[in-house]
Structure 1
Amino acid sequence: MRPLIASIRLENLRHNYLLAKQMAGGPTLAVIKANAYGHGALRCAQALADVADGFAVACLEEAVQLREGGVSLPIVLLEGVFEAAELAAVEAHDLWCVVQSPQQLDMVLQANPAKPYTVWLKMDSGMHRAGFFPQDYAAAHCKLMASGKVSKIVKMSHFARADEPQLSATHAQLEAFDSVCRYLPGEESIANSAGILCHERAHRQWNRAGIMLYGASPLPAGFEQGAALKPVMRLTSRVFGVRELAAGEPVGYGASFVAERPTRVGLIACGYADGYPRLASTGSPVAIDGVRSRVIGRVSMDMMTVDLTDLPQAGIGSEVELWGDTVHINEVAAQAGTISYEVLCNVKRAHFQYH
């Protein structure tokens, strides 16, 4: 069996959720969209079922998977519905639905539900991706309240730059949100992971913990607010080939790495088809039998090569941690010029083991 293992530590997931809720000071949704950021949505939901206040997913398919798996806690559809016919499934599965456009608003207003919906009404407070502009928000809220189609409205928005705490953008978004929402009835939700970690003013009746659930801080290096988070996924493989290169010899496609000294190379079973980022080639950190080393050469589809030169005890069968406890996922993401969210979401072909 190919020795690429994604070990999912569910106790760490629970630890991170409880930490997020403690920091937020109130009810918190566990965001498990995109298959729980690559960790397995149903297994993660089941592990959090006795502690979480609810879950958030992107779309109806993700919510139905959870309901069919026995998850009974509230589930918010963060993208809402894509066509009016989906509202029947929203009602059938007792889902909470985001409304973020005039089209979605009209779908709700024209529906005839047997039981009124719970709607999360989204404001575009400055991200300019989705939601009602502040000047249009109160009117949408009033239409929903007057329609008889809605039993509850949660006022929500989403931060664009909360992971850059030194900037004023988040403060400006909060001002835009509060300038309208303070006059409207209903609970509120605006804090994402970065908002929970470092924007106390954003903590409201509902908070939304995403990437921090999985043990990765969204904040830049040097910010310690996420230091207590524990990595949930540990991705490992094993060395299955070793060779010696003389100084001046290349390894891998394109000869992108040329040995500057006699170099001992380990071949491992993992590549970009497994989700390891191709751009994180020479220099990306790994841990071999617990000792940090590096990737050398270009990451290929199914394999990659690592530097064993200073690790004389390492060889065939040695464990290689690609990220987890010794190598932080943010380090690998930075080497690839991306973010931990993308790297985690891309994991595939690994054998998932839940602990």
Structure 2
Amino acid sequence: MAEPYASAGSVLEIDLGALVANWRQLRDLHGQGRDTAAVLKADGYGLGASRVASALYKAGCRHIFTAHLMEAVAIRHSAPDAMLSVLHGLGPGEERDFIAHRLVPALGSLAEIEAWGRAAAGLGQPLPALLHIDTGMNRTGLSPEALARLIAEPTRLQGIDLRYVMTHLVSADIPGAPINLQQARRFAAVAAHFPTAQRCFANSSGLFLGPDFASDLARPGAALYGINPIPDAPNPMRAVARLSARIMQIRDIPAGESVGYDRQWVATRPSRIATLPIGYADGYHRALSGKAAVAFGGQLCPVVGRISMDLITVDVTDCPAAVLGAWMEVIGPTIPPERLARLAGTNAYEILTSLGRRFHRVYLEA
């Protein structure tokens, strides 16, 4: 670890060059003549939405999605003329903020369509929007009943500049899931009712499902940040995040001594125990207790004892080069987010989006 981090106890490096390379790879996979957006919800998957947006914008990305309105407001300065779309749609009373910041709601209900149409009428000009159709998620988006009403009464869209029709894939990371092709067929049938609007379909994993899932605009998220979009195959994306923590204390304990709360781990041999300043308050899940490892020079060292709020303890008995002040890899080439996710019983998305604010963050420019 480089000297500029000498005063830090933990460092999160975000490689913006790798992130931009991932976006370009996904853009090329999507194909010429099609646009590729970037999803920056949850503070850019925990890595800093403003810096991520700025890097992608400089690389040519002109379509960005967030989940919440205020996420989009916060990054407007980083992507001044990009289409910034809010996946959660138009909340009650949010029309002024959407208009003021030139944001595009993904309208997912008849009530939202009506409210956006009223705002357009009051402004005296059309307002842009996406139409979010539910094709199987049963979560957000127009239900089949609401969609039928809209198709029967197209004047409900009066005053709305419908840019895209979109839907959300249920099981894109499972290539053989029957629901994938079912959704593709449903989406094609629905989109045909809105011939002037373009189509927005594939997420990260959807881009790897083949030509049936291509559209005018893809919106990858997780793969941009290095998360594997095809879990049963080698990861085609470049790693973006690397988390390291410095050994703040080392002690030798005899066999029979325990480490950490509630004596969850007891040494079966004389052991060297390193303490690192990271814990579940930093997003290193308590569920990893007794399961995870950190790495030193590519060698795995088990996390022992219960993970606490601010600290973890690591058995470095078999790693004599791990000395006081040395840096250990928590997330990186030896321990990718997917490895921690499996051990914690979650997914790599949660591992990245849980990363806390106490790390010294370093951005490696594109």
RMSD between aligned residues: 1.8
Which amino acid is the alignment partner of residue 262 of structure 2?
G
**Alignment equivalent of 1:57, drawn from 38, 46, 66:** 66
Q: CA deviation at 1:69?
A: 4.4
Normalised TM-score (structure 1): 0.93
Question: Matched residues in 1 for 2:219 and 2:326: separation?
Answer: 39
Which amino acid is the alignment partner of residue 13 of structure 2?
S
**Alignment equivalent of 2:127, drawn from 99, 113, 117:** 117
Partner of 2:305: 297
Deviating beyond 6 angstroms after TM superposition, the runs of 4 or more aligned structure 1 residues are none
Q: CA deviation at 1:144?
A: 5.9
Partner of 2:174: 164
Question: Matched residues in 2 for 1:250 and 1:218: separation?
Answer: 40
Q: CA deviation at 1:148?
A: 3.5
Which amino acid is the alignment partner of residue 166 of structure 1?
G
Which amino acid is the alignment partner of residue 162 of structure 1?
A
Q: CA deviation at 1:180?
A: 2.2
Alignment of 1:39-58 (within 5 A): 39-50=47-58, 51-58=60-67
Q: After superposition, what is the alpha-carbon deviation per residue over 1:239-261, rounded to whole angstroms, capped at 9, x for unaligned?
A: 11111222332211122222232
**Alignment equivalent of 1:327, drawn from 335, 348, 353:** 335
1:254 aligns with 2:265: no
Note if contact 2:53-2:78 (Cα within 8 Å) is conserved in structure 1: no
Give the 3 Å change call, closer, same or farther, for CA 147–175 of structure 1 in structure 2. closer
User: What SS does structure 1 have at the residue aligned with 2:9?
Assistant: coil
Question: Matched residues in 1 for 2:24 and 2:76: separation?
Answer: 23
Alignment of 1:70-81 (within 5 A): 71-81=80-90
Partner of 2:287: 279
Partner of 2:110: 102
Which blocks of at least 5 consecutive residues in structure 2 are unaligned?
1-6
Give the 3 Å change call, closer, same or farther, for CA 248–199 of structure 1 in structure 2. farther
**Alignment equivalent of 2:200, drawn from 182, 189, 198:** 189
1:15 aligns with 2:21: yes
Partner of 1:179: 189
Q: CA deviation at 1:151?
A: 2.0
User: What SS does structure 1 have at the residue aligned with 2:123?
Assistant: coil
Q: CA deviation at 1:75?
A: 0.6
Count of aligned pairs: 351
Q: CA deviation at 1:23?
A: 1.4
Q: After superposition, what is the alpha-carbon deviation per residue over 1:254-279, rounded to whole angstroms, capped at 9, x for unaligned?
A: 22222232221111010011111111
Give the 3 Å change call, closer, same or farther, for CA 70–209 of structure 1 in structure 2. closer
Partner of 2:3: none
